[in-house]
Structure 1
Amino acid sequence: MSSTTTPSVVVIGAGFGGIGVACVLRRAGFTDITILEKADGIGGVWRDNTYPGAACDVPSSLYSYSFAPNRTWPRRYSEQPDILAYLRRTAEAEGVLHQVRFGTEVTGAWFDEGDGVWHVDLAGGETVTADVLIPAVGQLSRPIVPDLPGAATFAGPAFHSARWDHDVDLTGKRIAVVGTGASAIQFVPRIQPSAAQVTVFQRSAPYVIPKPDRAYRPWHHRMFTAVPASQQLGRGATFGIGELLTTALTAWLPLGRLADLIFRLHLRVQVPDAELRARLMPGYRIGCKRLLFSNDWYPALTQPNVDVVTGRITEITPAGVRTEDGRVHEADVLVYGTGFTATDFLAPMAIRGLGGRDLNDEWADGARAHLGIAVPGFPNMFLVYGPNTNLGGNSIIAMMEGQFGYIRDLVRLVAARPRSYVDVKRTAADRFDTEMRDRLGRSVWVGCESWYREENGRVTTNWPGLVREYRRRTARVDAAEYAVVGPRLRQGA
C-alpha cells in the first residue's frame, strides 16, 4: 500500500460492474486501480453479445450510470452498439480506460494473511499483488452450450448467440435455433425474413409482453440537454415502474394477475392461430422465469418459414436436430440461444482466503455473500453483482450503484489502517444468508426450473425485495458487521 489513502485495487472484469466501481473509487480519491480484462476490449456482455437485434430490456435512461447521463440515446431501449459506445465513452471520460489491462485472464487469487494482500495469478504466469480485490465478472458471462448427443457431428456451422459467427451468411439457409430465452426472442425476428426456414426448439415457453420502445427525435435530445431534469424525470418514472413490476411478480398477486392478463392479450392479438398459441403458453406462474419484452417475437413465429417445435431434442445429427418423435429437422446452421452459467459465480477462477480455504468449498451448496458483496474468510475481497443481487423487474445498474458506494466505504476502512484487512463477520453473513433463504424460499422463483436456481433448488442469483430496500441497506457500512484486522493483531501482539 503506497499510503493511508491510496490502497492498491485490482478489479476483475471491465463490464458495467468493473468500470462502474472503478469510476466511483476514482471519484473518492482512490486512483491505484488496475482492471484485468481477459478480452481485447471493455463491455462485458455488451462486447460479447453482438447477435442481430441485441438490445437491452431496460430503458436506457435507467440502464446507465446516474453519474454519467447520456443525453443522446437513439432509442428508449438502446441496442448493443450504442450501449457499448456509451460505456467506452464513460470509461474514457472518467479516466479509467487507461487502467484496463486487456488480454489478461485471471486464473486464481490467494490472500496473504501475513502481508494482508491478495496475489492474483494470471494465465501467462504473472502474479499481480493488490490490497483490495474486486471481482466484477457478472452472472451472465459464460455461455451454456448443452451437451447434446451427436453435437460434434453436425455438418454445418454451430455457435452460441453470445459468440455469434458473423462470417456465416444466413441468407436462404435452414436455421435451427435451440432455446427461447432473452437472446432468441431478439435475434429470431432479425434472421427470419432472409432465412429459408427457421426451426425454433422450445423447452418451455417464455412470458413475453409488449416493449414500449420508440426512437428519440432530435427535439428529445435538445430537451434532455437543455433541461436535464426532463431525462431525470423519465429515469425516476422508469425506476418506479420497475419497482412496481417487481412487486407484481413477487409479492402482490392482484398486480401479478394484471401482468398475466397483459401477456395473454399480447399473445392473443399477435398469434391468431389457436394451436400455435397453445404451444406458446407457459406452464408456470408469471415471474418464475425471466419476463421478456418484445413486439416482434410472436409475429416472427407466425411466419410461414418458422416452425416452433416443443418435442424434446434427443440428438444432433450431421443433417440437423432429431426430436423424441424420431423426426430429423434438417438444418444448415445451428444456433444455441441457451443462456449462461449464472450460478457458477467466479468460475473457473480458484480463489483462496484465510488459511487457504477454497471458495469452491465455501460455496459447495450454493454461492452466498453478505449483501452479495463480502464473504467471511475472504478479507478485502468485495464482489460486484454477486450472489442474490440479480433482479426480476428493474435495472441491475441501480443495484450495482448501491454496491459501488458500499465497496467505496469498505475501501475507506482499509485505507484508514495501513496493511489492515477487513473481513465480514460470519455471524453477520450467516444472518443475511438465513434471511435470503427464508425470503427466497417463499418467492415465485422456486416454482419452476430456471437459471436463477442451483441444482439443489436454492435461488442464488436473485434479490428477494425491491431495489429501494437494497439501496437503503447498502447506504452505509455497519462497522459492527466487520472485523478490521491490523498487522500487530496478525503477528499475535
Structure 2
Amino acid sequence: MGTRTETGVVVVGTGFSGLGMAIQLRTDGRDDFVILEKEHEVGGTWRDNTYPGCACDIQSHMYSYSFEQNPGWSRSFSPQPEIFDYIRGVAEKYDLYRHIRFGRELTGARWDTDEHRWYISTAAGEEFVARHLVCGVGALHIPQVPHLPGIETFRGTTFHSAQWDHDYDLRGKRVAVIGTGASAVQFVPEIAKDVERLTLFQRTPPWIMPKPDRRMPDWAKRLFSRVPGVQRVYRDLLYWMLELRAVGFNGDPRIMKFAQKIAKRNIDRHVDDPALRAKLTPDYVMGCKRVLISNDYYPAMNRDNVDVVTDGVAEVRAHSIVDTAGVEHEVDAIIYGTGFHVTDAFDDLDIIGAQGTNLGKQWAEEGMQTHLGITVTGYPNLYFLLGPNTGLGHNSVVFMIEQQVRYIAEAIRWVEAEGAGAIEVRPEAQARFNAEIQRKLSKGVWTRGGCTSWYLDSQGVNRTIWPGFTWRYWLRTRKLDPRDFRLHGRSAAPERTAAAGG
C-alpha cells in the first residue's frame, strides 16, 4: 500500500502551464499545494524535445511569462536549451521545487461527492487527496507513433523525435524520416548534413513561411536588462503583430492568400527542381494545418542525399522500407516526426466524476467539451490548462495560460469565500460556450481549408483551436461569472453576487 498525502490543490505537470499555476497559488499566499511530475525534471515539452534544431516558433520575448521577462534571449526564436534553462530558472526563483513530487505519473482521479475531494492515484502507488485538481499536462506530450506494416521485422534503430536517441550516431547512415510536421521541419536540415542518405516520407506538405529569426544584439539585451519597460513595449508590439494574424485564420481569406503567395515564393526561391517544387507545394488553403517557419528546410531538400517520397509506406523489412509504388529504400534507422496525440490525449486517463462517469470515455464518445477550456460539467473542482479549444495557431499559448491560471485561482478563492465544498460549471453554460466556439470554427480556415489536421478529432470536429483574437479570451476570463456555476456543500456563509477576489 502506497503512502497518502493530503493537500489543498494538486497540480499535474511542470511545463509552462503547471508552473504558471503554482506561481499564481504562491502569489495568492497559498502553500497547500503539490505538483505531480512524471519525469525527474521540470520543463514539459521543452524538457522532452531535444532533437537537433529544436526551437520555438513564436518569438521568445512573447513565449515567456509576462511577469518574468528574460532580457538575455540570444535570438528572436530561442533554441530549446535556452527555453529549458528559462523554465528551470523560474521554478528555482519561485521556490517551486519543494512542492514538486518527481516520478509521479497520474494514472487516475476519483471525485468523492460526500467529502468534496479528489482522490488522485499515481503509477508509483502513491495517493494524493486534494480539494482541487488542476491538469496542466498539455497536448504535446504523448508521441504519436504510427504502426508501419512489418516494423517488428526491422533490424535497425527507430525512435520518435520527442524521444531522440542521442547515443545513436547518424553520421554516414541511411535514414528514413516519417512525417513532415513542425519537428521534422526543424531536425531534417540538421541531420541531412551528416547522414549518407535521407529519405523523407511525406504524406501532406506543410506551408512554410520564412523565419524572421535573428541574433539579439548585445545592446538590445543590455537595454532590456537596464530598462525593463522597454522590453515590455517590445513584447506588446510582438503581441499585437502576432494577434493580427488571427484575422486571416478566422476571417478574411484575402490575408491567407497573400501569405500563401509569400510561402509559394519561398518554395520557388529555394527549390531548384520543378518536380520537387510540385511535391513540396500544398494543395490546401494555408492555415488549415499548422503554418510552419523555416529558412533551411527547403534548401535541405535540394541536397543530393535527400529524397522526398510522396508514396506511403507499404511494408518495412529487416533493412529497408518498401513504398506503395513498390520502390524499396534501404535504411539503417527510422525517425518518426509524426507529432503527438492531441484530441485523443485524454482517452486513457481514468478521471471519475460526480456521477461515476469516466471523463476519458465521455470525451472519446462525445468529443472534448469544456467551459472556456477550463472546467467540465459533472467534474467539480477539476480544471484544465490549455484545455480543449484554447490552443493557438497565431500567438503565444503562454498568454492563454496566464489568463487561465488567474481564472482558476479566482474560482478557488470564490469556493472558499462562500464556505462551499466545490464549484461546478452548469451544463447550459458549457453547452452555450461549445455551440459558440463551433459556430465560429465552422467559418475558419481549419474547417474550410480542404485538409485533415491534428486540430480535428475522429469526428472531424475542431477541439483544439481558439477561434479568433486572444484578447477576446482575456475578456472572457478576466472575471469569473457566478451565474455559470453552481456551488456544492455550501455552509451558512452569506450569498455573494460577485466572485471573491475579482
Query: What TM-score, normalized by structure 2, do the two folds share?
Result: 0.94
Describe the SS at the equivalent of 1:17.
Answer: helix
Find the counterpart in structure 2 of residue 217 from structure 1. Answer: 217
- Secondary structure of 1:57's counterpart equals coil
Aligned residues of 2:420 and 2:491 also touching (Cα < 8 A)? no
Q: What does residue range 159-238 of structure 1 map to in structure 2 within 5 Å?
A: 159-238=159-238
Q: Are the aligned partners of 1:108 and 1:349 in contact in 2 as well (CA < 8 Å)?
A: yes
Contact kept? 1:246, 1:466, Cα under 8 Å: yes
Residue 33 of structure 1 deviates from its aligned partner by 1.2
Whole-Å Cα distance in 1 between the matches of residues 265 and 138 of structure 2? 35
For residue 361 of structure 1, report the CA deviation from its aligned partner. Answer: 3.7
Structure 2 gap segments, 5+ residues each: 1-5, 493-502
Quote how far apart the aligned CAs of 1:346 are: 3.1
Give 1:140-151 correspondences, 5 Å limit: 140-151=140-151
Shift, 1:7, TM fit: 7.3
Which stretch shows the higher mean deviation, 368-377 or 224-233?
224-233
Q: Which residue of 2 aligns with 1:386?
A: 387
The alignment covers a number of residue pairs equal to: 484
CA drift of 1:448 comes to 1.6
Secondary structure at the residue paired with 2:128? strand
How far is the alpha carbon of 1:94 from its aligned partner?
1.2
Correspondence for 1:448 among 451, 467, 471? 451
Alpha-carbon separation, structure 1, partners of 2:314 and 2:232? 51
Equivalences for residues 57-456 of structure 1 within 5 A:
57-363=57-363, 364-418=365-419, 420-446=421-447, 447-456=450-459
Question: Counterpart of 1:349 in structure 2: which amino acid?
Answer: L
Superposition deviation, residue 211 in structure 1: 0.6
Within-5 A mapping of 1:462-473: 462-473=465-476
Q: Does the residue aligned with 2:446 lie in a helix, a strand or coil?
A: helix
Q: Which residue of 2 aligns with 1:457?
A: 460
User: Where does residue 484 of structure 2 map in the other structure?
Assistant: 481
Instruction: Using the TM superposition, give the Cα deviation of residue 356 of structure 1 relative to its aligned residue in structure 2, in angstroms.
Output: 1.2
The one-character-per-residue Cα deviations of 1:358-394 (angstroms, maximum 9, x if unpaired) are 1134312211110000000100001001000001111
What displacement does 1:273 show?
1.7
Moved more, 440-449 or 187-196: 440-449
SS at match of 2:295: coil
Per the TM alignment, residue 153 of structure 1 is displaced from its structure 2 partner at its CA by 1.4
Aligned residue for 1:194, secondary structure, equals coil
1:295-325 CA-to-partner distances (Å, cap 9, x unmatched) read 0000001111111110111121111211111
User: How far off its partner does 1:487 sit?
Assistant: 5.1
Alignment partners' CA distance in 1, 2:225 and 2:124: 46
The RMSD of aligned alpha carbons is 1.4
Paired residues of 2:251 and 2:443 also in contact (CA < 8 A): no
Partner SS state of residue 52, structure 2: coil
SS of 2:143's equivalent?
A: coil
Shift of 1:124: 2.4
* Greater shift in the superposed pair: 353-362 or 404-413: 353-362
Distance 1:479 1:7 in 2: 25
Paired position in structure 2 for 1:9? 9
- What is the distance in 2 between the residues matched to 1:92 and 1:412? 26
The offset of 1:441, in angstroms, is 2.1
CA distance in structure 1 between the partners assigned to 2:62 and 2:354 by the alignment: 39
- Residue 488 of structure 1 deviates from its aligned partner by 5.6
* 1:443 partner amino acid: G
* Large movers: runs of 4+ above 6 Å: none
CA deviation map 1:383-435 (0-9, x unaligned)? 00100000111111011111111111011112224451000001100111111
SS state at 1:34 partner: strand
In the TM superposition, residue 62 of structure 1 has moved relative to its aligned partner by 0.4
Task: Determine helix, strand or coil for the equivalent of 2:384.
Answer: coil
Q: Is the 8 A contact 1:250 1:287 kept in 2?
A: no
**Whole-angstrom CA distance in 1 between matches of 2:351 and 2:93:** 32
Q: Is the 8 A contact 1:179 1:337 kept in 2?
A: yes
- Counterpart of 1:459, as a letter, is N
Cα deviation, residue 97, structure 1:
2.0
Shift of 1:272: 2.3
| 3-state SS of 1:131 partner | strand
Distance (whole Å) between structure 2 residues aligned to residue 334 and residue 7 of structure 1: 45
Deviation for aligned residue 1:200:
0.5
Amino acid at match of 1:464: P
Amino acid at match of 1:12: V
Task: Look up the match of 1:40.
Answer: 40
Q: Quick check: 428-437 or 286-295, which moved more?
A: 428-437
